[in-house]
Amino acid sequence: MNMEVKETTLNKKDKRNNDVLLEVKNLKTYYPIKGGIFRKTVAVVKAVDDISFEIKKGETLGLVGESGCGKSTAGRTILRLLDATDGQIIFDGDDITNIRGVSLRKVRKDFQMVFQDPYASLNPMMMVGDLISEPIRNFTNKSSKELKPEVMELLTKVGLPEDAYYKYPHEFSGGQRQRIGIARALALKPKLIIADEPVSALDVSVQSQVLNLLKELQDEFDLTFLFIAHDLSVVKHMSDRIGVMYLGGLVEVSEKNSLYAEPLHPYTQALISAIPEPDPRKKKERIILEGDVPSPIDPPKGCTFHPRCAHAMPECQQVKPTLKEVKPGHRVACHLYN
């Protein structure tokens, strides 16, 4: 079993080609804050503020950051669950930023989402079989009955017994519910799956089951993942490349190993040093960040991280740094590397 998985992942790396599946250009998502008697927009929350990245076919891009950094909003905007304020989302060669109606419905088939809370994301009144076949029924004229063999196959694929078909979500544990969520996301054979904190509600032993499953399925179905999480060690385990977000912006994007071996942005350095490691013999230098993340309503001028940065220079207060390639495959937005 172990060997098998290893071999397939090796194959995957070969299969991974340079075709870009998703390209995000200068994406911005702002939430308006309304006030006064006329409900005028009095301010905006810059949840996602000018981010650009691309995901290649068969690759997993991890998006990490602390709560409120805009990683989930970015995921939802890409799925077109939220409207982008500005920028472009190019999926499989087509600009999908502003498409509506039938054409939006058509591309929706190709991307699916796995949500964080396996308790809230499944309809408690629906049988598991119906839950999983619903996305397929949405796009074809087939009935639940006709789709049964297909659903049964999906259930086995995600490691659930076939009799789960007739059960209801409350009869399952958190880990099993997340498997149902994954089966549902796979039902339409999507090209891209956005997993938004898929394991953060689970215990470690169950978390590892679900992470292993996601990896196996990726090899089997040649899936592309955007993996959103706050846990850096989980993201490291899952991703090929990683983007680090802070206050709505991407501060660093890099190949996984380069990022963890040599984080360049001071925020990434602090973030990585903050993770408690499960080894009491390792005493590492910890960078403790002062204060809290500033409000995204009124983010600091220049580099958004400068008020908390130990290396801040006068320039940082004035000019907002942009992502620049410092090493091959390693981009960082910081004035230290100019």
Partner 1 sequence: MSVNTQLHKDTPLLEVKNIETAFSIDGQYYNAVDNVSFSVKPRQIVGIVGESGCGKSVMSLSIMKLLPKGIGKIKSGSIQFEGVQLEQMSDKEINSIRGKEIAMIFQEPMTSLNPVFSIGFQIQEVLFNHMKISKKEARLKSIALLKSVGISRPEKIIDEYPHQLSGGMRQRVMIAIAIACQPKLLIADEPTTALDVTVQAQILELLKDIQKVNDMSVILITHDLGVVAEMCDEVIVMYAGKVVEKTDVDTLFHDPKHPYTKLLMGAIPRMDEDVEVLSSIKGIVPSLKNMPKVGCKFAARCPQVMPECTSITPLLAETDEGHEVSCLLYPTSRPREGVLHNEYGS
Residues engaged in binding partner 1 (CB under 8 A): 2, 5-6, 9, 66-67, 173, 175-176, 203-209, 211-212, 215, 230-234, 236-237, 260, 270-282, 286, 288-289, 292
> Whose Cβ is closer to partner 1: residue 89's or residue 244's?
244
Q: Return d(Cα 178, Cα 199) in angstroms, integer.
A: 8
Least distance CB 107 / partner 1 (angstroms): 33
In the bound state with partner 1, the residue whose beta carbon lies nearer, of 187 and 245, is 245
Residue written as tokens 């629906």? 126
CB under 8 A, 24+ apart: contacts of 15-18: 15/58, 15/222, 16/56, 16/57, 16/58, 16/59, 16/240, 17/56, 17/57, 17/58, 18/56
* 162 versus 203: smaller Cβ distance to partner 1: 203
How far apart are the C-alpha atoms of 175 and 180, rounded to whole Å?
A: 9
Q: Shortest gap between Cβ of 310 and partner 1 (angstroms)? A: 13
Tell the smallest beta-carbon distance from residue 251 to partner 1 (Å).
13
Does residue 105 contact residue 123 with C-beta atoms inside 8 Å? Answer: no
When the beta carbons of 66 and 130 are compared against partner 1, the nearer one is 66
Decide whether 13 or 106 has the Cβ nearer to partner 1.
13
Q: How far apart are CA 47 and CA 52, in angstroms?
A: 14
CB of 150 to partner 1, least distance (A): 26
* Residue 314 C-beta: closest distance to partner 1, Å: 24
Minimum distance, C-beta of residue 278 to partner 1, in the bound complex (Å) = 4
Q: What are the distances in angstroms from CA 191 to CA 9, 18, 55, 230, 291?
A: 18, 15, 11, 24, 41
Whether 52 contacts 24, CB under 8 Å: yes
Of 25 and 237, nearer to partner 1 (C-beta) is 237
Q: Which is nearer to partner 1, 130 or 174 (CB)?
A: 174
Q: How far apart (Å, rounded) are the C-alpha atoms in residues 303 and 321?
A: 6
> In the complex, what is the shortest distance from the CB of residue 321 to partner 1, in angstroms, rounded to a whole number?
20
Q: Which is nearer to partner 1, 110 or 119 (CB)?
A: 119
User: CA 101 → CA 105, 108, 238, distances in Å?
Assistant: 6, 11, 34
**Nearer to partner 1 by C-beta: 130 or 255?**
255
Of 169, 132, 138, nearest to 150 by C-alpha is 132
Q: How far is the CB of 125 from partner 1 (least distance, A)?
A: 23
> What are residue 320's phi and psi, to 5 degrees?
-80, 120
Yes or no: say if 134 and 153 are a contact pair by the CB < 8 Å rule: no
| Residues whose CB falls within 8 Å of the CB of residue 18, separated by 6 or more in sequence, listed in order | 56
Beta-carbon count within 10 A of 286 CB: 10
Smallest distance, partner 1 to C-beta of residue 76, A = 20
